[in-house]
Amino acid sequence: MLMSVQPRSWPEPTPEIVAVVRATYRRRTPPLPVTVRDRLGELFPDAEFALAFGVRGRPGWSPGRLALVTVLQMAENLTDRQAAEAVRDKISWKYALGLGLEDEGFDSSVLCEFRTRVVEHGLEQRVLDLLLDALKGEGLVAAGGKARTDSTHVISAVRDLNRLELAGESVRACVEALAVAAPEWLSTVIDVADWGRRYGVRVDTWRLPTSKTKRAELVAAYGSDALGLLRAVGDAAAPPWLGELPAVDVLRRVLVQNYVITTDAGGREVIRAREADTDGLPPGRARLTSPYDTDTRWAAKGDELHWNGYKVHITETCEDPDPVDGSSVDGSPADVPAGERPNIIVGVATTDATVPDARMTDPIHEALAERALLPAEHFVDSGYPSAALLGESLRRWGVTLVTPLLADQSPQARAGAGYDRASFSIDFDTQTARCPQGQTSTWWNRVTQRGTDAIVIKFAAQTCRGCPVREQCTRSTSAKVGRQLTVPPREVHQAQLAARATQDTPDWQARYARRAGVEGTIRQAVAVTGTRRARYRGLPKTRLEHVYSAVALNLIRLHAYWNGHPLDRTRTSHLSRLELALAA
């Protein structure tokens, strides 16, 4: 168990460990842990994590070395027990950590406590920062280059619950917490035997009745139990600290979000489930989906992908190969591929599943600016930008967003027929718009829609009433309504028109093709570290997982780079390799 930490330098690998490693890998590429120790030395100093640990008590394991263990754990996709076992029996890990053959390592629970302390003190980003600082010194990352970003979904580490299961499981989680915190008090406010039959095992649909009537009765029973339990906790006779238990707060929120308390004609209190159509439900970004992970949320992407969890955004460098001949500075042969540099992950951001990509563009730039790694060109897909962000990113951060803007979403544009917004001439000086038939608008008003400035333009009803192409211009069938346009302010409108015109050219499309490479990084993250399934509960620990996974991927790429392996573009068949060999 971690008790206290006195920061100190890592020991050098012992002579017997060094001898075994050198003999074993004399003619072979050394494994990742060995290369990391040889190239980067003490990558994560203890002092960087000292804030998260006490200075009194029994000394604990080195937090810097635990950070490296966690990174190696991600690189090999190991459980905590497997990682602790690897520390004990893998020569390469002992070499990287500076341990002797006789070192017994630590219990696997130490890794869980290490993660908890790191998260509590907001140090989860330190491992990535330290690695990037080391790579800056080697010239492998720098500001002003090219970067690309994409996101992927992450499934939470809790099971999916329907609303009935959520209600029952929330009551069960609260009762379990109270049974531990105040067992004597709990026995006085509930019938322990009766509640034990209802909440003794987890609430599963396959255990619940299939009849709609009985399920409705069960919904009401869960709601009544929740309300009674919360009222007992809030009673003056109850210990006041019970209301501060996290499980009690979760039950309170689940009750408010999923139930309505009313009074019937006889004056009796009635509790029933909320109906989406009549009572309304909280928006997805606020609605709890599990009593065991209050950060996870349901989200959807298109018609096919629905998940309960998070979203992770990965930003990596994507520079052009250097025009070098592969020689080192002193003229000796270099041990890296000529001109090739690995794509380094320089930023990882994890959010709940409901946060749209467009809201992350500015935070991603802010995080890169703090690391002094802002790119000159940032390649992203159409989910990240808006016309306003194109100008804002260049003005505030000096970053050119290379991205296609979303197409006009008006009915005319989606149908590919009729007069969309681009068919109208907008004159910001005279504050008028002219339609394709030569008519001029009569109304111009600046508004704010969803927090964004916009301009609403209207044409007079009598102007549009007799128009021969009215059906191609507006879907309204009322003769009292003319065509209406909503456009952004002048600067944004002009940037939007210019961007949409540019993105259709072959040169721009060839330039934008660079963004596609980040899809391979996401695939590597999924295949190597299992990024799409969260290991831990809660957003803070899931964020830690993704940061350490990113460091692991970087080290895997650096390991290949330092050992002279070129970047793999794609799988190559044996026939294709033969063709390349003959061509050479």
pTM of the model: 0.86
The structure tokens listed for 26 are: 């004399």
Average pLDDT, the chain: 88
DSSP per position, 382-417? TTS--HHHHHHHHHHH--EEE-PPPPP-SHHHHHT-
Per-residue pLDDT reduced to its tens digit, 359-398: 999 999 999 999 999 999 999 998 898 777 888 898 899 9
Residue 186 pLDDT level (bands cut at 50, 70, 90)? very high
Gap between the Cα atoms of 316 and 186, Å rounded: 53
The structure tokens listed for 394 are: 């260049």
Residue 332 pLDDT level (bands cut at 50, 70, 90)? very low
Per-residue pLDDT reduced to its tens digit, 512-527: 999 999 999 999 999 9
Give 540 or 496, the one with higher predicted confidence: 540
Burial level of 352, CB count in 10 A (0-12/13-18/19+)?
buried
pLDDT surpassing 60 at residue 333 = no
Burial 417-427 (b: 16+ CB within 10 A, else e): ebbbbeebebe
Gap between the Cα atoms of 59 and 53, Å rounded: 10
Q: Which positions ≥6 away from 238 have C-beta within 8 Å?
A: 185, 189, 232
Gap between the Cα atoms of 163 and 152, Å rounded: 26
For residue 338, which amino acid is it?
Answer: A
The structure tokens listed for 45 are: 């100093």
pLDDT surpassing 60 at residue 259 = yes
Task: Tell me the domain boundaries of the chain.
Answer: 15-123, 163-273, 302-405+507-577, 411-488
Gap between the Cα atoms of 37 and 48, Å rounded: 18
The average pLDDT across 541-554 equals 97
Write down the pLDDT at residue 470. 83
